[in-house]
C-alpha cells in the first residue's frame, strides 16, 4: 500500500465518496435493471446477474462518473464548462451530464471514433473538437481548450470523482442481488473497476472481483504481473471502449485490492456478444460482452457462483456488425 500513501488522498475515492456520488447523481441517472437468463446460466454453470448499464442515460455506465464530476463543481467552476478527450461513451456522458447543469461540454474526439458514438456526442449537445488519434494530440487539444475557456478537465477514468460515480454500480448491484459472491467488469482505463473495488472492499469483502481485458490491449494485466504500470502497449482490439491505458491511480487501486485480470481474445468476445444478443436480447457492444467471454474462459473455477456481470454499454454501429460467423 506504499504507493497509495505516496499519492494525494484526494486521488482515490473512499466509500463515503461513492455514497455521496450515489446521492448526487440520483436525480439524473437511472437505477438500471438486472436481467437473468436460464440459457446463459446453464452455459456458464453459474447464476448470472447482468447489470444493464447499456440502459443507463446515454447508453453507457459512463454517465454515472461524468454526472458526479459535473455536480461536484462549484458554481463558478461549473460556469466555465468541462472538457475531456474520449473516443466515445465518456464524451457523450459528459455532454449529457453538462446538459443537466446547463453548462458547456468540450469533447476532444480522435480520428477513427465509432460513428454511432460520435453522433451521440453531437446529439447530446457536446462541442466536438477533432484531433489526431494519438495520446499526445488528445492531451494537447485538451490543454488548449482549458487555456481558452477555463473549463475543468474531467478525465475518463483517472479522476476520483469519476471513479466514485462508477462505483455506484456496485452499491446498486449489492442492493439488487442478495448474496452476490463475484463481480466481473470490463477493464480499460480502470475507472469502473476502481470504483467498484472501493465499494466492495468496504461493504462486501467476500465478493471476488475480476476485470475482463482484451488480450490485444492487456496493459492492466501486464502491469499487475510486473508490479509496475505498463504504458507502451499499442492496443489492437475490437473493444473500442477498452483501448485506453490503465490510469496511474487506477493501477494502484487494482493492485491494492488484488483485482484479478482475465485477458480475452476478440473472437471469444464476439461469440459472447452474439450470445447476449440472441439469448439475453440485449444489443450490447463488444466492450460489454467481454465479461461473458471472460467468465466462459475461467468458467470451472466459478461453477455454481452468483456472479454480477456489468454490461457497460450498447452503442454499436448497426451498419457494421462485427459478428464472427
Residue 314 near residue 240, CB atoms below 8 Å: no
Min dist CB 32 to its own copies, Å, is 10
316/158 Cα distance (integer angstroms): 25
Q: Which is nearer to its own copies, 209 or 284 (CB)?
A: 284
Taking CB under 8 A as the rule, does residue 323 contact its own copies?
yes
Stretch that binds its own copies, among 50-58, 166-174, 212-220, 227-235 (CB under 8 A): 50-58
- In terms of CB distance, is 5 or 323 closer to its own copies? 323
Helices 89-101, 62-72: crossing angle, 10 deg rounding: 40
Cell numbers for 268, please give them. 471469444
Give me the least distance between CB of 43 and its own copies, in Å please.
Answer: 12
Under the binding rule (CB under 8 A), the answer on residue 175 touching its own copies is no
The one among 48, 116, 238, 270 contacting its own copies by CB under 8 A: 116
Report if residue 287 touches its own copies, rule: CB under 8 A. Answer: no
Is residue 99 a contact residue for its own copies (CB under 8 A)? no
Nearer to its own copies, 7 or 321 (CB): 321
Q: Give the CA distances from residue 107 to residues 111, 206, 258, in Å, rounded to whole numbers and listed in that order.
A: 13, 39, 33
- The residues near 271 (Cβ < 8 Å, ≥ 6 apart) are 293, 324
For residues 261 and 223, give the distance between their C-alpha atoms in angstroms, rounded to a whole number: 10
Task: Return the closest-CA partner of residue 54 out of 110, 107, 21, 93.
Answer: 93
Out of 278, 299, 301, 324, point to the residue binding its own copies (CB under 8 A).
Answer: 278
| Torsional sign, CA 106, 110, 113, 119 | positive
Closer to its own copies by Cβ: residue 56 or 86: 56
Cell of 237: 482490439
User: Least distance in Å: CB of 116 to its own copies?
Assistant: 7
264, β-bridge pairs: 214
Q: Which of residues 255-274 bind its own copies (CB under 8 A)?
A: 274
Contact residues toward its own copies (CB under 8 A) are 33, 35, 38-39, 54-55, 57, 59, 116, 123, 274, 277-278, 281-284, 314, 316, 318-319, 321, 323, 325
Amino acid at each position: 500500500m506504499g504507493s497509495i500513501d505516496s499519492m494525494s488522498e484526494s486521488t482515490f475515492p473512499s466509500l463515503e465518496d461513492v455514497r455521496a456520488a450515489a446521492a448526487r447523481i440520483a436525480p439524473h441517472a437511472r437505477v438500471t435493471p438486472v436481467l437473468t437468463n436460464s440459457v446463459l446460466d446453464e452455459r456458464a454453470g453459474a447464476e448470472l446477474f447482468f447489470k444493464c448499464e447499456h440502459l443507463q442515460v446515454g447508453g453507457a455506465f459512463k454517465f454515472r462518473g461524468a454526472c458526479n464530476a459535473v455536480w461536484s463543481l462549484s458554481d463558478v467552476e461549473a460556469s466555465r464548462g468541462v472538457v475531456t478527450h474520449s473516443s466515445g461513451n465518456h464524451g457523450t456522458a459528459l455532454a449529457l451530464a453538462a446538459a443537466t447543469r446547463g453548462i458547456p461540454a468540450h469533447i476532444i474526439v480522435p480520428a477513427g471514433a465509432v460513428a454511432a458514438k460520435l453522433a451521440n456526442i453531437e446529439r447530446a449537445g457536446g462541442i466536438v473538437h477533432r484531433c489526431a488519434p494519438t495520446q499526445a494530440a488528445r492531451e494537447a487539444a485538451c490543454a488548449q481548450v482549458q487555456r481558452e475557456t477555463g473549463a475543468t478537465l474531467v478525465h475518463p477514468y483517472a479522476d476520483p470523482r469519476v471513479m466514485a460515480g462508477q462505483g455506484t454500480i456496485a452499491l446498486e448491484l449489492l442492493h439488487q442481488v442478495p448474496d452476490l459472491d463475484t463481480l466481473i467488469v470490463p477493464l480499460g482505463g480502470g475507472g469502473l473497476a476502481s470504483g467498484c473495488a472501493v465499494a466492495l472492499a468496504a461493504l462486501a469483502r467476500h465478493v471476488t472481483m475480476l476485470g475482463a481485458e482484451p488480450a490485444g490491449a492487456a496493459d492492466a494485466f501486464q502491469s499487475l504481473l510486473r508490479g509496475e504500470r505498463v504504458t507502451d502497449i499499442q492496443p489492437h482490439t475490437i473493444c473500442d471502449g477498452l483501448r485506453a491505458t490503465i490510469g496511474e491511480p487506477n493501477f494502484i487501486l487494482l493492485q491494492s485490492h488484488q483485482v484479478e485480470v482475465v485477458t480475452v481474445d476478440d473472437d471469444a468476445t464476439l461469440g459472447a456478444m452474439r450470445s447476449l444478443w440472441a439469448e439475453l436480447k440485449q444489443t450490447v457492444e463488444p466492450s460489454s460482452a467481454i465479461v461473458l467471454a471472460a467468465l466462459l474462459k475461467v468458467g470451472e473455477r466459478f461453477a455454481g457462483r452468483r456472479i454480477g456481470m456489468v454490461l457497460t454499454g450498447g452503442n454499436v454501429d448497426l451498419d457494421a456488425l462485427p459478428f464472427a460467423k
